[in-house]
């Protein structure tokens, strides 16, 4: 690069030079990001330390940063009680069934929207986008009555059905936008080679869009796993409870066992965090797709 002819003779002592200034900025960025991580992780760390101390110690004032007595009793209590374990099993079953149903139904509908032009296509798309904006509390009122009428009140089936209201549109929209980016020639070539339409879909389109299936599946699983409102309205007996509700009802008990509740919270968050560690890329895709697809 050419130097300007009139170079300043005296360089201000405050002028660090471009390179040093950039280095300083970068150092500042590292510092700020580490600070942000510490602040963001503080509540999570607190959840962890409270889950391994006796409940008496939790209400001590001022609180100890590190537990005085370390105990795994809250975890032992959860793992030894069928009453609590059934809640984990329920949440897992419901979330897995919802995810499977959303992906299968979602992929079929997404295929229609991505591969055909048909009357009413725009209306269907608009409907799908709007469904994601529905106030869910509005739906609770009619659901409550409908499920009582059909004898589905207080069943896990009811939760599976209602969770589809928000997971299915998401899966359709995300898979559709992924399918649109896969050239249809590939399927047509497979059909020329003697595949049926369904055969072509399963041999080309489905395997090629596995990242979308993983992303949409993970996000769906997360939504179902974390849902609370419908569970509160539609489930009554403990045997059909899900995690979010069980944790909440621990607070309402006579003496709040904070250590138990935090142990529960750790265990409830763990599957999602572990899945996230291994599948971060797909999960972020699912997360961004929620807003950018459609």
Partner 1 sequence: MPSFRNRFHDEILAYSFLWPSLLILVALLIYPLGEVIRLSFYDSNLQRETWVGLGNYAALMDDPLFWQAFGQTVVFTAASVALHLVIGLGLALLLNMQLNETFRSLARGLLIVPWLLAPTVAGMIWVLMLAPFGVFNGLLARLGFIDINFATSWLGDPATALGSVTAMNVWRAFPFFMVMLLAGLQAIPKHLYEAADIDGASGLQKFWHITLPQLRGVITTIVLLDSIWTFRAFDPVFVMTGGGPAHSSEVLATVIYFDGFQKLRFGYASAEAMVMFIVLFVVSAIYVRRTMSKEH
Site for partner 1 in 33-92 (CB under 8 A): 33-34, 36-37, 40-41, 43-44, 46-47, 50, 58-63
Question: Is 279 an interacting residue with respect to partner 1 (CB under 8 A)?
Answer: no
Please compute Rg for the chain using Cα positions.
26
Q: Check residue 3 and report its DSSP letter.
A: P
Q: Which is nearer to partner 1, 80 or 108 (CB)?
A: 108
Question: Is 238 an interacting residue with respect to partner 1 (CB under 8 A)?
Answer: no
Site for partner 1 in 211-230 (CB under 8 A): 222, 225-229
Question: Is 292 an interacting residue with respect to partner 1 (CB under 8 A)?
Answer: yes
Q: Where are the alpha helices (DSSP H) in the chain?
A: 18-50, 55-58, 73-80, 82-115, 121-131, 136-149, 156-180, 184-192, 197-200, 206-208, 210-226, 229-234, 243-251, 258-292
67-75, 79-87, 183-191, 247-255 -> range binding partner 1 (CB under 8 A): 247-255
Question: Is 116 an interacting residue with respect to partner 1 (CB under 8 A)?
Answer: yes
Question: Is 119 an interacting residue with respect to partner 1 (CB under 8 A)?
Answer: yes
Of 182, 234, 250, residue with least CA distance to 210: 182
Number of residues that bind partner 1 (CB under 8 A): 97
Which of 128, 160, 200, 263 touches partner 1 (CB under 8 A)? Answer: 128
Which of 86, 97, 136, 214 touches partner 1 (CB under 8 A)? Answer: 136
Contacts of 248 (CB under 8 A, 6+ apart): 228, 232
Q: Which is nearer to partner 1, 150 or 210 (CB)?
A: 150
Say how far apart CA 158 and CA 143 lie, in whole Å: 9
Least distance CB 204 / partner 1 (angstroms): 16
Residue burial 244-261, b: 16+ Cβ < 10 Å; e: rest: bbbbeebeeeeeebbbbb
Which of 84, 88, 95, 143 touches partner 1 (CB under 8 A)? Answer: 143
User: And the tokens for 31?
Assistant: 């510092």
Which of 98, 152, 158, 172 touches partner 1 (CB under 8 A)? Answer: 172
User: And the tokens for 48?
Assistant: 């962890």
Which of 11, 16, 24, 29 touches partner 1 (CB under 8 A)? Answer: 29
Question: Is 233 an interacting residue with respect to partner 1 (CB under 8 A)?
Answer: yes
Question: Is 191 an interacting residue with respect to partner 1 (CB under 8 A)?
Answer: no
Question: Is 100 an interacting residue with respect to partner 1 (CB under 8 A)?
Answer: no
Taking residue 119's Cβ as centre, other Cβ atoms within 10 Å add up to: 7
Q: Check residue 10 and report its DSSP letter.
A: S
Question: Is 108 an interacting residue with respect to partner 1 (CB under 8 A)?
Answer: yes
- Residue 256 · residue 250 · CB < 8 Å: yes
Q: Which is nearer to partner 1, 78 or 128 (CB)?
A: 128
Q: Which is nearer to partner 1, 69 or 104 (CB)?
A: 104
At residue 289, what are phi and psi to the nearest 5 degrees?
-65, -35
Question: Is 27 an interacting residue with respect to partner 1 (CB under 8 A)?
Answer: no
Question: Is 127 an interacting residue with respect to partner 1 (CB under 8 A)?
Answer: yes
Of 160, 159, 162, 158, residue with least CA distance to 150: 158
């Amino acid at each position: 690069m050419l130097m300007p002819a009139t170079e300043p003779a005296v360089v201000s002592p405050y002028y660090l030079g471009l390179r040093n200034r950039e280095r300083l900025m970068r150092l500042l960025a590292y510092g700020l990001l580490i600070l942000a991580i510490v602040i963001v992780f503080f509540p999570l760390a607190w959840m962890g330390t409270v889950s391994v101390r006796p409940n008496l110690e939790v209400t001590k004032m001022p609180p100890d940063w590190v537990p005085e007595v370390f105990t795994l009793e809250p975890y032992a209590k959860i793992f030894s009680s069928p009453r609590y374990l059934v809640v984990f099993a329920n949440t897992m079953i419901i979330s897995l069934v919802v995810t499977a149903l959303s992906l299968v139904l979602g992929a079929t509908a997404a295929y229609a929207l991505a591969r055909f032009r048909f009357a009413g296509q725009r209306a269907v798309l608009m409907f799908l986008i709007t469904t994601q904006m529905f106030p869910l509390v509005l739906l609770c009122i009619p659901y409550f009555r409908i499920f009582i009428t059909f004898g589905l009140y207080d069943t896990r089936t009811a939760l599976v059905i209602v969770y589809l209201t928000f997971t299915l549109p998401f899966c359709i929209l995300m898979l559709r936008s992924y399918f649109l980016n896969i050239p249809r020639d590939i399927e047509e070539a497979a059909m020329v080679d003697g595949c049926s339409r369904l055969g072509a879909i399963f041999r080309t389109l489905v395997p090629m869009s596995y990242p979308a299936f993983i992303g949409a599946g993970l996000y769906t699983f997360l939504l179902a796993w974390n849902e609370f409102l419908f569970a509160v309205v539609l489930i009554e007996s403990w045997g059909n409870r899900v995690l979010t509700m069980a944790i909440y009802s621990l607070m309402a008990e006579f003496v709040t066992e904070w250590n138990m509740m935090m142990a529960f919270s750790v265990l409830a968050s763990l599957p999602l965090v572990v899945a996230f560690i291994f599948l971060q890329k797909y999960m972020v895709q699912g997360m961004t797709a929620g807003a950018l697809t459609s």
